[in-house]
Amino acid sequence: MNRLVDKKIVITGAASGIGRTAATLMVAEGGHVLLADLDQDAAAAAAAEISGGDTGGRAVGVAADVVDEDSIAAMIDCAVKEFGGIDVLCNHVGGSNPNKDLDLLRMDLDEWDRTMALNARSTVVASRLALPHMISAGGGSIINTVSIAGLAGDTLQCAYGAAKAAVIRLTQYVATQYGRDGVRCNAVAPGAIMTPALRDNLPADTIADIRHHNALDLIGEPEDIGWAMVYLASDESRYMSGQTLVLDGGLTAQSPIAASRRSLLDT
């Protein structure tokens, strides 16, 4: 409790899933959180539900379209007006259309551009607008949500993986360029997380297959990523910058054939 007392926090894509969970945990730790989302009604409803408690934390929901630079600017201005500044920026929103983001030969090039704007350019724009407020206050923390898709190749979603890889490298550049101003920049790279989107879009046997290939015998929950974001927002991580925390149940830590070899232990 009280790990984020009076921290002024902005989270994009915060009306549902991991973003909402992170916002809930941060408010419970005493943070003042601006929940930004394309769906203004959902953001307002989420903020209303998680506000309150005895930690002094509060939540405000606003609309934000992160592919629109003016909308991002309005989001940052709203946080400064509501809270008096920005200590933490969580560039969380992202994704791609899996029906258009295929392998390189079949990928829709318009989807490539949209995915780069949604994942990479939005992170650049929001960070550029938040940085002056952090620097003037003596420091802050930028947390970028990436993905294990940015760490290794895959058969599909070429644009998404490339965009997240770009954000991983951007994280290091921001950490290097503004560390002496007291600004830290880190990323979290989730693997499969049991969000409503995962349940709704993947069949049960595919989810079971992911679990089979994880080193840990489980699929992550939104809280697993949310608590990592709390850590990166807090002063507990004051000596960490330019890093990517991989939270994937050990999937990327092992050989690609580890899951198939596991059965040999039973012989």
- pLDDT per residue over 136-173, tens digit each? 999 999 999 999 999 999 999 999 999 999 999 999 99
pLDDT on residue 6: 93
Kindly list the catalytic residues: 160
CB atoms within 10 A of CB 217: 8
pLDDT score for 206: 86
User: Cα 110 from chain centroid?
Assistant: 24
pLDDT of residue 158: 97
- pTM to 2 decimals? 0.95
pLDDT at position 267 is: 61
Q: Mean pLDDT by 10-residue block, N- to C-terminus, for the chain (267 residues)?
A: 94 97 97 97 96 84 98 98 98 96 97 98 98 98 98 95 98 98 98 86 86 93 98 98 97 89 77
